[in-house]
Each structure stands twice: as C-alpha cells, then as structure tokens.
Structure 1
Amino acid sequence: MQPSIDLLRHTLQGIYPPGEINGFIRLIFEALCDYTPTDILLRKDTILSEDMHRKIEEIASRLARQEPIQYILGYAWFCDRRFYIAPGALIPRPETEELVRLIIDENRSRPLRIADLGTGSGCIAVTLARELPQCRVEAWELSPEALAIARRNAELQQVTVDFYQRDILHYDLSQLTPGSLDLIVSNPPYICRSESRAMSENVLGYEPHEALFVPDETPLLFYDKIARDGLTLLSPGGRLYFEINEAQGPACACMLERQGYEQIRIIHDLYDKDRFASAIKPHAHG
C-alpha cells in the first residue's frame, strides 16, 4: 500500500497543497478498499493487488490533469449522505449544505409543498425530502444529464421527488397553479463571467458552465425571475431561499424589497460571507 501512497504524493506534488493530497489519499482508499483513515495508518505494509495499484495510478493521472476527485470516484458527500455525481451536474458545495440545514431548521414542523429550482445533482431536493418527510418536494432542471443524475440520487436515497424538465428563465407560468407552493429554494448560476479568471482549472475545465455562470450585466438574472414568479407560485406567507454570490447580498435584498417581499434576510456562511437570502411573500400581495 505504501508504494501506491508514494505514487500519489509524487504525481500530485506541486499541483495540490500537501493537505489536499492527504485528503485525496483518504478518499481514494475509502472508495477502493473501504479503509478508514486509521486503517490507512495501520495497514501501510499491506500489499495491494496489481489491479488495485493500476487503478490508483489511473486516478493519480486524472487528478494530475485537475479532474475533480468527485467525478473520478463517482460520488460526493452532502449532509452526511453519499450522492452519485457525474459530469453534467455541479459537485455539491459545503455552503449548499448550510442552506439546506437552515431550511430544515426553520421548516421542520409544517407539511409544505417545496420546489427546488435548478436542482442539478438533486442534493437539495433529495435531502429535504429525506429530512422533511411530511413535505412534498418537486425539482426543476433544464439539463437532461443533470435530471438523470438527480433522479438516480432520489432512487438511491429512497425518497419521492417529482422531477420536471423546465427552463427557469423561460417556462410558461400560466400552466402552473397559482399559490401551489409554500417554499421555493434555488442555488442558480451566480458567478459573473469576469470572475472566471480567478477560478481554478478543476472547476473551469470539468464542471458544466451553464450551471455556474451568468452575464456580468445581469448578475441577478435567475433571482429576479424566480422572485417574480414566486409572487404567483407561492402561497401567502410562502418562503423563498437562495444561495447567492457573496458580492450580491445588498443588490439581492434590494431586488426582493422592490418586488414586495417581506422579512428579507441576507445570511452569512461559515466564512462570514453574504451567501444566502430568504424572504417571505406577503399575505396580501396587491
């Protein structure tokens, strides 16, 4: 086993920081051998099969090309659950876990009709369906590839989510029942094109750009449309929850206020950045 660890360290040295390489080693041996971090320490002298060593060699070369480890292994952890992940859907982020936990904490007691708009891998919708079993959850997604991944995750987690192929920006609102939802959550594309210059190759080279980027001129493109449609789709007192670009907190709050929402909050993530927005549709929307 030690030669395989040495191979990983040698191949990835200078591409990733040492702490990240240690993280990769833990994930790889967990995925391939079902080893815990303690097993890795105690079993260094274990002789791995030629086949296993070749697999590790291949993973090392893919990591050296900056392919994300989640796409290589085919899964990611989200809210303590293992989700199937493949190119075609974004890799779930820790910030999104914070958003989901916030929604669960604030809406635990009521049977709600929830929609996750732009569901991607389905991690938000599926986790909410698992944690809030009294709620009915639906999820919208434009990309057929992402929808297939999300559906598989609902099956793997044994939850019922109603999936719809819909374009958030262009669907026909008149086909949907007014007031048919109590909660809308969305983590839509929110990175401005100009911000891509500061992003790493493992994101730019592999994750779907349509799920990441918005034009510089319209950074709130998706939020504005979802908030407007929410005034029709949400029941009175219904709630909106967004994950947002850290630079857009004040602009997002202004937009929600302009549209007539109440109890608008911009909430910080663990790194103290503006990362989430929530608002309530008024009871008497004129």
Structure 2
Amino acid sequence: MQKTTRYIQKSLEGIYPPEEIRAMTRLIWEDACGFSPVDVILRKDTVLDESLRKKIEVIVEKLLQQEPIQYILGHAYFAGERFKVGPGVLIPRPETEELTLLIMRENKNRQLRKIADIGTGSGCIAITLSRHFHDCRIEGWDISPEALCIATENNQNLGASVSFLQRDILQYTPHAEELYTYDLIVSNPPYIVPSEMAGMEPHVLDYEPHTALFVPENDPLLFYRAIARVGKKLLCKGGKLYFEINPIFARDMSEMLFSEGYCDVRTDNDLFGRQRFASATR
C-alpha cells in the first residue's frame, strides 16, 4: 500500500497542489478501494492484487487528464452525505453548503410549509433541507432531465421526500394554485460570465456542464431576475429569497432585488470573505 500511495502522489505532482493530492489519495483508498486511513497505515506493507492496482491506475490516468475525482468516483459529499454526481450536474461546492446551512440557521424557528430549489442539479440543497425541515413540502426544479434523474436517485438513496419538477424558469408562468404559497425560494443558478473563463481550472471548464455555469456577458443577472419576478407571485408575504451569487455582481444583485420590490435585501460573505450570498424578503 505504501508503494501505491507513493505512485499516486508522484504521478499527480506538479498538476495538483500538495493538499489536493493528499485529499485525492485518501478518496482513492477510502471510496474506490474501501480502505480507511487507519487501514492504509496499518497495512502499509500489503501487496495489492492485480485488479485493485489496475483500478487505481485507471483513476490516476483520468486525474492526469484533469477529470474531477467526483465524476471518476461517481459521487461527492455535501453536508455530511454522499450524493451521486455525473457530467450532467455540477459538483456541489463548499459555498453551496454554506448557503444551505445559512438557510437552516436563519429559518429554524419559522413554520415553513413550502420551499422551491430552482436549478436543483444533483438535488443537494433541496434534499438537505428536506432532511432538516421535516414537515415542509420541498420542490426541486430543473430544466435538465439528466439532472432530475440524478436528483431523484439521490432523493431515494438518502430517504428524503423532495418532489422534482422539470421547469424552465426563464419561461415559467406560475399556476393559479401556486400563487403566494411558498415560504422560501433558494437558487444557485449559472452566474459566471465568459470573460472569467481565462482564470478557471481545466477540470471545471473541460468537464462540468457549461449550461449550469455560464450566463451571457451582457446579462449576468438573467436567472436571478427571472427568479425574483416569479418569486413575487410565488412567495407569501414575508417569504424569503436566497441566492448563491457571483461576488463581482453583488451590488448589482442588491439593486435589482430592491428594484423588483423586495425588502430586507442583504448580502453575506462566504468563509473566504467574498460576497457570495444574497437574500431578500417579499
């Protein structure tokens, strides 16, 4: 095992930062091979069988092509749970977990009846909220059938009760029975403009779905504006909007939400001190 650990780390040297290589090595041993960190230490002289060595070699080869390890393994961790992911959905980010925890913290004393997660992807936000707000109807909306398929599988695997719906927020008109029935809407929509591509990592650009990442350069608030406008018809009085946002458009976000008639508009920083979240009240 010790020899294989050296092989993994030496192969990835110069391509990934040292701390990322250590994390990948642990994931390969633990998630792909079933060996805990303690196993790896105690069984350092164990010789691996041929099939396991081949499996590790295939994973390393994919990592050398900068394929995200979450796609290679087929899952990612979010709020302590394992979610299936694939090329059709974004890999859940720590910032999105921060947003979910912020919602849970700020609404712990509210009697929430209905929540919509718009652009649900793998379903990580909706499912995590469903497991926290037990008596609340939670919906996950997405335009992508592939994303909804993965989200539904995660919902079943984690014993959650989210209702997933195929909807295009840019074209959506609320039904009469939906008007003013939602207590909370959350969304982490596409928010990267094409001019930011130059600073992005290949494992994001080459593998993650661009439709879930990018917005037009000339209209970076496209999805937020659409959600805010639909939100005015869906949210009950006092209902809340929560967004993950691009920090460079934080001021524009606040101005847009005020102009759409929302109050208590606020932005919050992520753990790195960037304006990453916006919230508002109808």
Q: Structure 1 length as normaliser, TM-score?
A: 0.96
The CA deviation string for residues 37-66 of structure 1, in whole angstroms up to 9 with x for no partner, is 233222211121110000000000000000
- Superposed displacement of residue 138, structure 1: 0.4
- Superposed displacement of residue 248, structure 1: 1.1
Structure 2 residue matching 1:40: 3-state secondary structure: helix
- Tell which deviates more after alignment, 252-261 or 35-44: 35-44
State how far apart, in whole Å, the 2-side matches of 1:118 and 1:111 are. Answer: 20
Task: List aligned pairs for 1:13-92, cutoff 5 A.
Answer: 13-92=13-92
- Superposed displacement of residue 176, structure 1: 5.6
The CA deviation string for residues 240-269 of structure 1, in whole angstroms up to 9 with x for no partner, is 000000111111001011111111110000
State how far apart, in whole Å, the 2-side matches of 1:15 and 1:176 are. Answer: 53
Structure 2 residue matching 1:189: 3-state secondary structure: coil
- Residue 170 (structure 1) aligned with residue 171 (structure 2): yes
The CA deviation string for residues 2-21 of structure 1, in whole angstroms up to 9 with x for no partner, is 23212212221111122211
The CA deviation string for residues 137-162 of structure 1, in whole angstroms up to 9 with x for no partner, is 00100011111010000001111111
Count residues in correspondence.
281
State how far apart, in whole Å, the 2-side matches of 1:164 and 1:54 are. Answer: 40
Instruction: State the one-letter code of the partner of 2:262.
Output: Y
Structure 2 residue matching 1:228: 3-state secondary structure: helix
Corresponding residue of 1:197: 198
Structure 2 residue matching 1:213: 3-state secondary structure: coil
| 1:26–1:40 contact (8 Å) kept in structure 2 | no
State how far apart, in whole Å, the 2-side matches of 1:141 and 1:231 are. Answer: 19
| 2:184–2:240 contact (8 Å) kept in structure 1 | yes
- Superposed displacement of residue 175, structure 1: 5.9
Alpha-carbon distance change, 175 to 199 in structure 1, aligned in 2, over 3 angstroms: farther
Percent of residue pairs bearing the same amino acid type: 52
| 2:120–2:187 contact (8 Å) kept in structure 1 | yes
Instruction: State the one-letter code of the partner of 1:257.
Output: F
| 1:88–1:146 contact (8 Å) kept in structure 2 | yes
Corresponding residue of 2:94: 94
State how far apart, in whole Å, the 1-side matches of 2:40 and 2:247 are. Answer: 38
The RMSD of aligned alpha carbons is 1.1
Instruction: State the one-letter code of the partner of 2:237.
Output: P
- Superposed displacement of residue 180, structure 1: 1.9
Structure 2 residue runs without a partner (length 5+):
none
State how far apart, in whole Å, the 2-side matches of 1:94 and 1:176 are. Answer: 35
Structure 1 residue matching 2:208: 3-state secondary structure: coil
Structure 1 residue matching 2:95: 3-state secondary structure: helix
- Residue 247 (structure 1) aligned with residue 248 (structure 2): yes
Corresponding residue of 1:262: 263
Corresponding residue of 1:284: none
Instruction: State the one-letter code of the partner of 2:6.
Output: D
- Superposed displacement of residue 174, structure 1: 4.3
Instruction: State the one-letter code of the partner of 2:173.
Output: D
- Superposed displacement of residue 170, structure 1: 1.0
State how far apart, in whole Å, the 2-side matches of 1:219 and 1:207 are. Answer: 19
| 2:173–2:230 contact (8 Å) kept in structure 1 | no
State how far apart, in whole Å, the 1-side matches of 2:217 and 2:204 are. Answer: 19
Alpha-carbon distance change, 141 to 24 in structure 1, aligned in 2, over 3 angstroms: same
Structure 1 residue matching 2:178: 3-state secondary structure: coil
Corresponding residue of 1:232: 233
Task: List aligned pairs for 1:83-232, cutoff 5 A.
Answer: 83-109=83-109, 110-174=111-175, 177-232=178-233
| 1:190–1:214 contact (8 Å) kept in structure 2 | yes
State how far apart, in whole Å, the 2-side matches of 1:230 and 1:124 are. Answer: 18
Structure 1 residue runs without a partner (length 5+):
282-286
